[in-house]
Chain A
Amino acid sequence: MNLQDVLNASTLGSIYLLFALGMALVWGTMGILNFAHGSVFMFSAFVGYLITSRIPLPLPAVVLIAMVVGAVLTLAIQYFAYQPILKKIKSVNAAELQIVVAGIGLSVIPIALAEKETLSNNFGFQGSTFQTVVYQFGDLRISNIMIIILVLGLGLGFGTAWWIAKSRQGLGLRAVGIDPEVAALMGVDRRKMALATMAFAGALAGLAGALLTYYLTALNPHSGEGLILKAFAAIILGGLGSVLGVILGSFILAFAETAVFAYTSGTWVSAVSFGLILILLVVRPQGILGKKEVRRT
């Protein structure tokens, strides 16, 4: 693996991180595995495409639009689907399954809408005023969008880890993750917390969607589907309930995929995340940085 591969893998890892971070927060604290996260990711970028194909906007505006769309969509899903399910079903096991299925059902809708509009073709931000510039340092090629992704990915990853560990709200969030009822008794407003976390996760999905579209120059309506499983692999790799674990997991996954891509034919790449999930769950279910007491006995 040369330096260029390391750089590319790090960029990929940052994208995985932005995507997985929101999913991990929602899952680790509220126990909701949001299967619609991939759809939200894709649809946020898709709305960006719809707008930039009419109005030429700069990158920050497109990213902001995608983040708002992601947050609003995720909030709507929480409000109309997950919250009613959690209210109706008391058994955690049964509710988990119902939430997964509702998420899958809802995730079909944005994909179908995007497919209808694009006729199943790729879409990108060709209308945006942003221009990709490639800088050359010896053999190393790095573009401005790669720098943006790396800075935002690592910055938001470590920023969130710090915030969860140090701030009062972070403490409340961790408390909800460990024992929701006691947390409520200690004055944590669970409903507000849940909505805020959901909005943050959705905004991150939108951010990841917009940045990946700029990086790859195009997405297609199904781009989000595979990412769900990759994010899952990253989360359990690092250990649920640990933000640093998500950062580690995302980068390990990205480097493993880059290595497999370099040394075998490309068709095995998708097996990397599935294989990691399976091996890890058999060998070390709590992940690398996870703690044993998190619900998974």
Chain B
Amino acid sequence: MIDFLSSYEVLIQLTLSMTLLAISLQIPLRMGVISFASVGYFAIGGYATAILVAQQGINAWAAVFLSTILGGVIAYILGLGIAHLNGLYLAMATVSFSLILSVVAVNGGSLTGGPVGLFGVIGPITTWHFLVVVAVVIFLVSFTERGKLSRRFDAIREDPQLAAAMGINVVRYRRLSFLISGAIGALSGSMATLMKSAISPESIGFGLIILALTVIIVGGQGSWVGAVLGSLFFLWMPQTIKFVGTWEPVLYGFIVAVAAVTLPGGVLAVYRNWRYRRTAAKVIAQQEARTRDLAMSGATGGGSGDGV
């Protein structure tokens, strides 16, 4: 186990930060908001941490905390400006937001380190700590996937007008989704920067948006499980398909396209459908058995209510 950890440590760290980024992308999506701003929050968290730790010499954990708050606040303000947009307009506004930040990072002079980025962001945080942080986030997020809150999210996504008529404050929930998404995205960037001890404009570009998006499309949009599955798949796949060599990007694009066309809810939906069908089949079988029992008991004239 320890050997495994040390030889794959970087990959594990990448998987963890991608999981957080994917969750950050999912939260608005679960309320019907297609937002790609998560990569921007990632950049904010990463650069804020790098500046605080490497330039100001602030304690790493404090920097993580402050970056997370900053991400949430900026996301909330962004949400105030653009949350009224729908569908692709919001998507493109958020893509622009993310890409502007990468241009700002290139032009930021000594504060952001220009095209090279910032180095020496070193703190006492280990991969184990990161694992715990991700587990805590997943634990908290899982509360929104059960019970009343989960049904509210679904209602806002599927039919905002109906949700409003049921007394759900749709606008407030959507703004809240920006806040949570911003905090988690910034946390992801902050932790990723501390793990790598560096951040550069290259690492927060359009490529990251595409990767995070494909992670949740292939993994599944509706739950953190999809984020974990997708991150595992896309970060560990290059290891397993090394045999295809230079054809790797072609295969990658092909997998993404096929998944988008054939699996609308990701791998997770396939599993859930299968489980649903199995349970449904079981329930139907039970009901049939019950009606048979009732018919038998009716025929013999005896009677006990144990079938019900």
Contacts and interface: CB of A to CB of B under 8 A. Distances in A.
Interface of A: 33, 80-81, 84-85, 88-89, 91-94, 96-102, 104-109, 111-113, 115-116, 225, 229, 232-233, 236, 265, 267-268, 270-271, 273-275, 277-278, 281-282, 285, 295-297
Contacts of B258: 105
B214 interface: yes
B32 A93 contact: yes
Given A271-B103, A296-B86, A108 B253 contact: yes
A277 B96 CA distance: 7
Contacts of A267: 103, 106-107
Given A89-B264, A93-B32, A100-B88, A278 B100 contact: yes
Given A96-B34, A225-B206, A102 B260 contact: yes
Contacts of B82: 278, 281-282
Interface string B237-267: 0000000001101101111111111101000
B92 interface: yes
Contacts of A116: 246-247, 250
Identify the 10 closest CB pairs spanning chains A and B, nearest first: A105-B256, A108-B253, A105-B257, A112-B249, A102-B260, A274-B96, A271-B103, A277-B96, A109-B253, A101-B260
A295 B89 CA distance: 10
Contacts of B32: 93
Nearest to B115: A267
A107 to B, nearest CB: 7
Contacts of B137: none
Nearest to A102: B260
B210 interface: yes
A88 B256 contact: no
Contacts of B65: none
Given A112-B249, A112-B250, A236 B89 contact: yes
A118 to B, nearest CB: 13
B93 interface: yes
A105 B214 contact: yes
Given A112-B253, A295-B86, A297-B86, A275 B264 contact: no
Interface string B96-116: 110110011011000000000
A101 B81 contact: no
A82 to B, nearest CB: 9
B95 interface: yes
A94 B107 CA distance: 36
Given A93-B32, A101-B213, A104-B256, A81 B96 contact: no
Contacts of B214: 101, 104-105
Nearest to A77: B257
Contact of B257 (A81, A91, A112): A81
Could you say which of B88, B91, B93, B252 has the most chain A C-beta atoms within 10 Å of its C-beta?
B88
Interface in B117-140: none
Nearest to A88: B264
16 contacts: A85-B260, A85-B261, A96-B87, A97-B29, A98-B261, A100-B34, A100-B88, A102-B260, A108-B252, A111-B249, A112-B249, A229-B95, A274-B97, A275-B96, A278-B97, A282-B81
**Chain A residues touching B, majority SS:** helix
Given A229-B99, A267-B107, A106 B257 contact: yes
B85 A281 contact: yes
B132 to A, nearest CB: 32
Interface residues of B, number: 46
Interface in B202-243: 206, 210, 213-214, 217
B250 A278 contact: no
Given A105-B255, A106-B253, A267-B106, A274 B99 contact: yes
Contacts of B157: 93
A101 B96 contact: no
A163 B305 CA distance: 76
A290 B18 CA distance: 38
Contacts of A297: 86
B87 A296 contact: yes
Nearest to B257: A105
Contact of A109 (B104, B206, B217, B254): B254
Q: Give the most central of B87, B95, B96, B217: most A CB within 10 Å.
A: B96
A77 to B, nearest CB: 9
A96 B260 CA distance: 11
Contacts of A270: 99, 103
A96 B246 CA distance: 31
Contacts of B210: 104
Among A99, A102, A116, A278, residue most surrounded by chain B Cβ atoms (within 10 Å): A278
A137 B214 CA distance: 52
A73 B214 CA distance: 22
Contact of B254 (A89, A93, A105): A105
Contacts of A80: 261
A260 to B, nearest CB: 11
